[in-house]
Structure 1
Amino acid sequence: MRPTTPPSLEDILEMAEDALAAIPAEMREMVRGAAILVEEVADDELAAEMGLDSAWELTGLYRGTPLTQKSVLDAPGAPDTILLFREPILLEWIETGEDLFRLIRNVVIHEIGHHFGLSDADIDRLEGED
């Protein structure tokens, strides 16, 4: 059953946390300490930085240092963050008819891929394999 009102920031965050809790324990352990945040939409400056024509194209973003680049000698910095953008996610949900939880899970997993050091091309190849 589809909600009758748009899911709130808190609803999206809850679904993202549920998606994270459902990944294999070994992977979840490697993501421990990363924050999940939900914002309405990326700003135009971030979209331009990402090479996008519009902030509406960005459903998620990983900010941090990928595990492949971390060292025990690194000075502590800001925590790794997985950002989800509510309005572009909801737009994709409406346009595709995809199950909202599945869509959010896919965005979370995509951003976790970046945490593991995978590029967009690497992730696209993995998503294309069945």
Structure 2
Amino acid sequence: MAEPAPICQVAPDAAAIEAMARNTLARIPSPFDEHLAGVVLIVEDVADDETLAALGIEDPIELTGIYHGRPVGEKSAFDSGAMPDRIHLYRLPILWEWIETDVRLDDLVHHVVVHEVGHHFGLSDDDMHALEDAAG
């Protein structure tokens, strides 16, 4: 009897993670969705050294995502010339957490995206959990 062929799986690339993240963004309910049009979504393998240093993180695997920008409630008409709000997702830490936790990858990406959207709105952790449930 011949041995079965080895299973060869390829880790999802940045485009696959981005597609999952955009699916989550499309499910964010009103009135939150109205304030997300200008938010830029960026998927990179890991955070850059500057971001890690600013957060006091030594191991890049510890950071799955971050929101860069000012929360909606803190914006001002005088903010012209500012960088657009950005949600950065970090593919390798997300994949590492996926392997370690055995949570479905799309569910994990959903969780990270909603958490970062929550920062965009200045939400508390409890409010973020409610938003995650609503966007489920």
TM-score of Structure 1 vs Structure 2, range by shorter chain = 0.7 to 0.9
**Aligned counterpart, 1:44:** 49
Give unmatched runs, 5+ long, in structure 1: none
After superposition, what is the alpha-carbon deviation per residue over 1:50-72, rounded to whole angstroms, capped at 9, x for unaligned? 12231110000101111121012
Deviation at 1:99, TM superposition (A): 0.7
**Aligned counterpart, 2:39:** 34
Contact 1:42 1:85 in 2 (8 A): yes
Is it true that 1:55 corresponds to 2:33 in the alignment? no
**Aligned counterpart, 1:22:** 27
Determine the C-alpha separation between the residues in 2 that align with 1:27 and 1:128. Answer: 14
Is it true that 1:72 corresponds to 2:97 in the alignment? no
Moved more, 17-26 or 96-105: 17-26
**Which is higher, the Rg of structure 1 or of structure 2?**
2
TM, length-normalised to structure 1: 0.86
After superposition, what is the alpha-carbon deviation per residue over 1:81-128, rounded to whole angstroms, capped at 9, x for unaligned? 00000000000000000010110011100001110023xxx22x4467
Letter in 2 for 1:75: S
Change (3 A) 1:115 1:16: same
Moved over 2 A (4+): 125-130
Is it true that 1:5 corresponds to 2:10 in the alignment? yes
Aligned residues: 124
Give unmatched runs, 5+ long, in structure 2: 1-7
Determine the C-alpha separation between the residues in 2 that align with 1:95 and 1:127. Answer: 23
**Aligned counterpart, 1:106:** 111
**Aligned counterpart, 2:101:** 96
Contact 1:56 1:87 in 2 (8 A): yes
RMSD after superposition: 2.0
Determine the C-alpha separation between the residues in 2 that align with 1:75 and 1:24. Answer: 27
Q: Taking every aligned residue pair, what percent have the same amino acid on both sides?
A: 44
Contact 1:44 1:54 in 2 (8 A): no
TM, length-normalised to structure 2: 0.82
